[in-house]
Structure 1
């Protein structure tokens, strides 16, 4: 029977917020003036007022009805509200019409004279709100809203310090979207994390204006997301004028470029081709370079000029050379193939590297495809086709592990564990990370290249003791690459006995090339014979098919050990 989930303390949410403040203390001297003042004000509040403010910060939106504020741990709401108002962390007022109408209940709306006079009582709430928002000047006037709120006899409060929470979240989590639930997971002892350095030497930002820029970018990103969510008119050119200039600080520049890429995509939808090109030219992400080539291709259809043709040739070649995996190469290859008829009349002999180096199809598995029919005994042995196949091969005398992505990823995570969690500026923001912030970007290798190359050289020379040491010393600690439930001691023992140093070296090299892409698609089963020889098997049940990603992994592994695709059926 599962153990009961531990109870959280009454003030756990306030404890978490205070931990958020304490853990970002190294940044406090850099806080912009507004957030520094709000933090100082928060720290002077009574506990009741602090509890209320943190509760409100955790809710959606900035406007709240006083009559709806009920918390068991805050006995007297009025003094807490008065204290927050005195510090100007909350202000009293009447919200905009759309917010007011959304938060008022349907029975309350139906009591308003404007509803009764117009005979709208039978409408559902959504239609009622739409009608009121689209109505004439009577509904638009402040007088109408003030009169309606007076009849409702409601007091409203607006938060004034969302920027403080957003800044704390940015500094602690490294993004604006993650919330405080991770604290709870750790407090209850459900996860244990590696201990890595968090101090001034590893912090992301060194200047106040960098923090302000981070906050501005987060707010602009929120605004853009809200425009998309509400399907409101978008003006990418106007929005671009509000972005900060290109940044020297790498994290800020990546965030800026993500927004610029969004603007480029919006410009495409509006047929603003030149502006889209200008956006994509500022972005380093491979997906932005792909969009750049597609826009040039479209421009060439509309305005076939030698200048655009030359830009497209350069863009396509760069797209091919920067492709970090086979899927990206396929995209570059197809784009080049479609572009060739457009380029031929304008370029005497367009050199497209993607066409000069033909791709090997993902399903090109000569000698690697097998069929297997399982009878009722194996069907009854397990619920999943992979487990049934594992049972079959165990009956053939193999030691079989259902490991999917756990084995090769685990070797990567164990071999590089200390490097993954090394103190690199901007890599870690809080004590609950399973990997550094840049784990899945090119900067992971770039910022640790010397240490990685030294480790790879040692592994190629047959030094695998570091893998065992990390397996033993780090048991149970969170690492994005190590699945402790599947990477067991018997599996690791068999793998290290069977794998050559060259194989381990090449696997780590492959994963380093594109960690996000290559961490998935690996075979389901690892088999080891009585002599210790390894064999990889990808299992496909009736109606299932092989993805390109899985096919390329089988091709890669087949250069070293038998790596087969088994189509399983039942008799």
Structure 2
């Protein structure tokens, strides 16, 4: 990577070549014949043709007007595109739908071509398209649509192939080629983790095809395809890759939720019964209940109560079980003893409607000797991420496989902690002998700005860090960190909004803020109950807005 991509006008080509070399080294046995041929043919192209293809791949869409593919470092666009046309990677006669044509043309050009059919010449392109679409349902080439237009359309035919290459490099499809530029510019900085030449996200060709298959199912569902059609496709998928099976289960979970929205209880129940995604069992209980099948709902809820999958499921069962038993004529269950939370009631003037209620409470409670910070989930997660940095970024097999990862690939897997148990134990041991404070301070300096799944650099400054280290007992930090490791996905959210420090007394108080009509969410309740259980100072602040001028 270059120090500044703007210094090299062909920086994007260099980055693309880097990806191809990476894939040849790590995915030689996975690349299809078509992908191998693409890499070989690409390498044989002249630099202008290489650069033009990469420019097109990195732009949005697949259709580009030749007049808008003018780049100084490429030169003659026609000469550069000719080899791409011969290879079949660019089609200059590709049929375009009316919508695709409208995306390429300016309003004046559309008006010139369709003037006789446009009733409102000063209208919007979207209105013209809606009016003309029923009359033009057959795709045509640009020359057929606009015979008098002196321009060509270059349609990229290898975008799907390039997306597969991008998938193999990143291990996902949400990261794109801009990652290189953002890293080159220093906007994003990533931890440098050593990994072997054979490290890769997708182990086999079957994994690549399986990922693409599931992604296609998801896209069809989001595009409005028939639920039954997508469901049949998802059920037909099977893989020995646990990560892909989890993606399948997540898709089934989404389909089950859609079945619930349709109030198709038998369908939703059938989907959830075939789904191992976290939360599916609880949704199945709710489906049985909402369909009036209380006996099955109770049977499954009692079974779940013997071995809850998570703290969230256990919390929901405490509400569901008594309700189901009442519906079946059982005795009313006694309410569990819940210790009351410390409550603050405030009536505040709404000085600035643009500011959230949390900022109003922060300003009201803040004192020089007792500063208040709006931290929500950022502070505890950041302290954890800084102390446990070596464990989080340990180069374990399957955790890291490209230079643009903000965290390990298995972060949310069930065995994330177990695989690193000794490493985390070593990090948390520093809480027992006092070394943790200096470790966190030094790591804050050494790692500033490096991407992390836990550290919120924008919310953490030295003043907040020093107050936290001075006022938060090591025992409390250990409790919080251990709870995070029990269920990272669920427990890194829901923490109280504000924290107030008393540096002279070395004490603190966490405050969850609720505005008018707001109530505590389940994950917030779990954190508040956890804090109470471990005798941590926490309060819930309920705010009413004072009438102005009263």
What band does the TM-score fall into relative to the shorter chain? 0.7 to 0.9
Whole-Å separation in 2 of the counterparts to 1:119 and 1:203 = 54
Whole-Å separation in 2 of the counterparts to 1:145 and 1:172 = 35
Residues 6-50 of structure 1: per-residue CA shift (max 9 Å, x gap): 956422322332333344441243112222222222222222112
Corresponding residue of 2:355: none
Q: Alignment partner for residue 418 of structure 1, among 381, 390, 415?
A: 390
Q: State whether structure 2 residue 228 is matched by structure 1 residue 236.
A: yes
Q: State whether structure 2 residue 496 is matched by structure 1 residue 522.
A: yes
Moved more, 72-81 or 171-180: 171-180
8 A Cα contact 1:163 1:215, kept in partner: no
Residues 398-418 of structure 1: per-residue CA shift (max 9 Å, x gap): 577665444422332133221
Q: State whether structure 2 residue 405 is matched by structure 1 residue 433.
A: yes
1:293–1:542 distance in 2 versus 1, CA, 3 Å? closer
Residues 141-192 of structure 1: per-residue CA shift (max 9 Å, x gap): 5789874343445533322222333223323333212223332332123443
Corresponding residue of 2:36: 36
Q: State whether structure 2 residue 418 is matched by structure 1 residue 465.
A: no
1:90–1:152 distance in 2 versus 1, CA, 3 Å? same
Q: Which runs of 5+ in 2 are unaligned?
A: 352-357
1:340–1:74 distance in 2 versus 1, CA, 3 Å? farther
Corresponding residue of 1:289: 281
Q: Alignment partner for residue 161 of structure 2, among 161, 164, 171?
A: 164
Q: State whether structure 2 residue 159 is matched by structure 1 residue 185.
A: no
SS for the counterpart of 2:19 is helix
Q: State whether structure 2 residue 549 is matched by structure 1 residue 557.
A: no
Q: State whether structure 2 residue 250 is matched by structure 1 residue 258.
A: yes
1:41–1:316 distance in 2 versus 1, CA, 3 Å? farther
Q: What RMSD over aligned residues (CA atoms) do the two structures have, in Å?
A: 4.1
Whole-Å separation in 1 of the counterparts to 2:216 and 2:348 = 58
Whole-Å separation in 1 of the counterparts to 2:434 and 2:248 = 41
8 A Cα contact 1:417 1:470, kept in partner: no
Corresponding residue of 1:26: 26
Corresponding residue of 2:354: none
1:325–1:71 distance in 2 versus 1, CA, 3 Å? farther
TM-score normalised by the chain length of structure 2: 0.80
Q: Which runs of 5+ in 1 are unaligned?
A: 377-382
Corresponding residue of 1:478: 451
Distance apart, 1:371 and its partner CA: 5.8
Residues 345-400 of structure 1: per-residue CA shift (max 9 Å, x gap): 8xxx79x9xx7884849xx41x45376999x9xxxxxx9546545642x34xx577
Corresponding residue of 2:76: 76
Moved more, 139-148 or 104-113: 139-148
SS for the counterpart of 2:154 is strand
Q: State whether structure 2 residue 83 is matched by structure 1 residue 108.
A: no
Whole-Å separation in 1 of the counterparts to 2:302 and 2:21 = 49
Corresponding residue of 1:134: 134
Whole-Å separation in 1 of the counterparts to 2:484 and 2:18 = 35
8 A Cα contact 1:14 1:51, kept in partner: yes
Corresponding residue of 2:45: 45
Corresponding residue of 2:300: 314
8 A Cα contact 2:253 2:271, kept in partner: yes
Corresponding residue of 2:12: 13
8 A Cα contact 2:66 2:151, kept in partner: yes
Q: How does 1:193-204 map to 2 (within 5 A)?
A: 193-200=190-197, 202-204=199-201
Corresponding residue of 1:538: 511
8 A Cα contact 1:421 1:435, kept in partner: yes
SS for the counterpart of 2:408 is coil
Q: State whether structure 2 residue 416 is matched by structure 1 residue 444.
A: yes
Q: State whether structure 2 residue 476 is matched by structure 1 residue 503.
A: yes
Distance apart, 1:283 and its partner CA: 2.6
Whole-Å separation in 2 of the counterparts to 1:357 and 1:165 = 59
Distance apart, 1:276 and its partner CA: 3.2
TM-score normalised by the chain length of structure 1: 0.77
SS for the counterpart of 1:150 is coil
1:448–1:358 distance in 2 versus 1, CA, 3 Å? farther
Distance apart, 1:84 and its partner CA: 0.8
1:431–1:555 distance in 2 versus 1, CA, 3 Å? same
SS for the counterpart of 1:78 is helix
Whole-Å separation in 1 of the counterparts to 2:5 and 2:35 = 35
Corresponding residue of 1:173: 170
SS for the counterpart of 1:522 is coil
Distance apart, 1:516 and its partner CA: 3.2
Distance apart, 1:105 and its partner CA: 3.7
Q: How many residues align?
A: 527
8 A Cα contact 1:176 1:218, kept in partner: no
8 A Cα contact 1:370 1:564, kept in partner: no
1:110–1:402 distance in 2 versus 1, CA, 3 Å? closer
Corresponding residue of 1:380: none
1:131–1:337 distance in 2 versus 1, CA, 3 Å? farther
8 A Cα contact 1:540 1:546, kept in partner: no
